[in-house]
Structure 1
Amino acid sequence: MPIESLDGRDAYAERLASVLEQLRARRHELCSSLVDEYTAVLAEYRELPESVLIRDVTDAAVQNIEYLVDTFAGGFAVPDENIQWIRRSAARRVHQHVSLPSLLRTYRLWGTRIWRTMAEFAGDDAIGKQLSIDAADAMMEYLDRVSNDLSRAYIHESAVASVDGQALRTDVLETVLTGEPVSERARRQAAVLATSLRGRLTVVVVQVPDRDHPLAGVQAAVLAVRDQFVPLTRSFLTGPRDHEIVCICVLDYGEDGARIEAACHDLAASEPAWTVGIGRIAEGVAGVRRSYTEAHEAAELGFSIRQPERAIRFADVLLDQILRSTRHIDALLEETVRPLVDYDERKNSELLATLRAYVNANFNLTKAAAELTVNPNTVVYRLRRVHTLTHRDPMTVDDLLLLALGVRLWDSAPLL
């Protein structure tokens, strides 16, 4: 049966789903065998500690398979995106003394093994052969893109490592933030640092846009945060991680962090392209990890509530976190924002913008109209249209609350 026929396409899709399911089921076995192959052919990998091979190298290979399976589930299109965990893996290899050629070789070995496994699962009939050919093309494209990302991340990390001798090395920072030693040297240095991180502290994250020159942007951010925070803290540690600078500020006893927060606002004002997130006050190394996660999430979600020249506290995006964690995301958007988005696209209107302005103006019609540069009666008319489309009345408390939450969720997760 020709694959071009409807039945042939259905059979092809079923075969692909079966191949991917088998690949996912055998991912741990495959990656364990792959790491054995790495150590057999690459001396630099033979020198890595067993714990790093198991916890880092093997886990990265497994995660790569899981990502590939999810990517290929809808066909063999390879998305054009930066994969943060791959970039972090490349950065760790710098500090594990693995050369870039050796790192790239492991990905070629990985790609060859995974493709051969997929071809074996696909079978020798016409559908299986076509699937194997398609998988080979997609795998080559995937490895080409990943190799470019790896190379850029590796070269960037090599350069950043020499930017500032006082900044934390990325492998040490990664070990502190995750609790998983990147290398034996990083484990020892992180253990020493832990003695100075026993008190109250807060973590600040400064995100530098990807469009900035990778080295100049990081260097400028490291120097800027040091100038801002060193005079205010009992102990201060900072280091680069991906496109962000992580700042660990140890506070004096009884310090409420107000001076740090003020310095964060000054930092955000000094460079509008940077996004500054602030975690809550915590204690000890475990507190560093919690506060970092909060600061990172504040910076990531902050664009939805970002104000000029202001840093974003975790408390500022707590509502966004709650909204994104609910299992009723789709229902909330369907009941509030999506009908307005659809209508705006069809009619070239501004219902969502009007509802957003009304919410941002604390439900004041006059202020909302001023923001939109329209007459207050226009705002009233549009809100009535919102009522018609969503069956939610912006003039009643319960419905207005749902509409406001829908706008907040849409703005914090616009791709949903």
Structure 2
Amino acid sequence: MTVDVVAFLELLAGDAAEADFEGPSRAARAAGATAEERERIDYARSLALQVRDTLEARRRREGELAALFESANDLAMLTNLEAVLQAIVTRAKQLLNSDVAYLTLNDERRGEYMRVTEGILTAAFRTTRIPYGIGLGGLVAQTMKPYSTADYIPDERFRHAPDIDGAVSGEGIRAIIGVPLLLGTQVIGVLFAANRTVRPFGTEASALLVSLAAHAAIAVDKARLLEETRAAVAELEVTTRQLQARNEVVERAADAHDRLTRIVVEGGGVDDVVRSVAEVLGARVVVLDLDGETIASSAPDQPVSDYEAAVTRRSLDLSRTAGSGDVYATPVLAGAEQLGSMLLGPREVDRDDGDLDDGDQRILERAALVTALLLLFRRSVAEAEGRVRGELLDELLSGTTPDPETLRERGRLLQADLSRPYAVVVANVPGDRARVGQAATFVAATHDGFAAVRQGQVVLIFPDCDARAAGELVVEGLRLSAGAPVTVGAAGPVPGPLSSPGAVVKGYDEARRCLAAAMTLGREGEVVTADDLGFVGLLLGSDGHPAAYVTSRLGPVIDYDAAKGSKLVETLRAYFAADRNLTRTAAALHVHVNTVTQRLERVTRLLGKGWQEPERQLEVQLALRLHQLVA
């Protein structure tokens, strides 16, 4: 018996095959062992085979556990969710030595959906969805328990669905085992292994897959958390960048607000606004009037392009900010009144998207508002100063000149040197008198002059300027506001009010006579001075006396017409216009030749016989022309 046991122990120690355990029994029969001895040897052999099976199962279990721990360690090393899921199904296929393995994840609204596969050949199987309670996988997800089948299609334990059965049959799968991936009491998915032959999965396979699923669930959860953390960190970084950008915008806005406030408080101008906004926004800034002329620019040497001009016109048409890319413009508004526009050119530093963000747009619009305030203030000051200057000019023209000391003080307050010589301009302007008056005030203010509306005409005086240059300034300055040709009479320069109190009045009278002469002679739209009128000009000049001259040469004839209602003056004009031809004169007057002869005889009796002599004839003709102008 001891020899028999030793023989079997030796076979166990040598890891002999199952067939080798028949050796001791054959040797005992060959040696003629009794029945009792053979029975005892057979019993020892069965015990040895049981020990052998147990050892083999333990070795297999140890290998499975080692593989399981290795799988768990590998899963713990992975941080990417996709890599974790793929590693799970690969390990499941290896551990169970199955044909395929796959994993579904839980969708709370639509059940389980196929996430990753290993060994699957058909696209239909990869896109299969498994509702809760349907099929083997749906039952596992619903009950949170493992299930297996040796042959799925005919197995009536499960609720079958045509699309799922079709996918299983199309893949050729017969045996399936599925175990839940559990996190506490929550099913996050199902892990499957399957074979294309009918082969049951035992309890050991089920336990092994359950163990793998437990590690897999933890790995999936960890990978999910890591991905969520990464996503949260990425989102936080984006939010941080947005906050930083927002802070930069707020800081720029605060800086702009401080600068603009300081400009207003310290009495700055539009130029200061333009420079400050250009520095804050890092771009060229231009303020334009309604005619597109530049009021102020941060880059005076750079003209406004055609495209920039079009953008400014569009902003005015829309009465809001307009533009795109590098160029924007916003209207300069005082209530509903448009005063101009503010243009923002290309940035000195490129922005990510190139567009004007909301913060910078608000800075631009706030700067336009401050610009409107400054323009209104400047206009109000100009209007107030214009009124004061106009009142002083009106006093000077009325001959009520204040005493020199008062006049000097008023000039000092207006920053005007009233001792300088002045050119005097009188303009006949059609159209809106109020608008023309405002334009005249602006022209005078920009040249240190004075303007007033007097007797329906615009009167301006300019220091240190000759008559023609002053007249051309007025024609150009009033052209747009008048909307029609501007006719101007100009005189001077005459001594200033402090130097000769009545000189401005004389210059005004001369300029008025020149304007009257221009209108009579059909010279509308021109600048007319005494020098332009020849002999007429000599008599219209500030030292001439045209009325006295007319009286001395034509007084009796004029008085006779006034007393008798005759037409001697008219006859004389027609007579000289017809080159002293009696017939043509009569035709022009629509009278008989005898009537013309009788009238001329009456003129001879009134003026004397020598009035048709060449020298006196010229004087009479000049007196006729002056009479027409003076009248």
Higher RCO (CA < 8 A, seq sep 6+): 1
TM-score class normalised by the smaller sequence: 0.3 to 0.5
Scaled by the length of structure 1, what TM-score is found?
A: 0.41
Query: TM-score, with normalisation over the residues of structure 2?
Result: 0.29
Larger Rg: 2
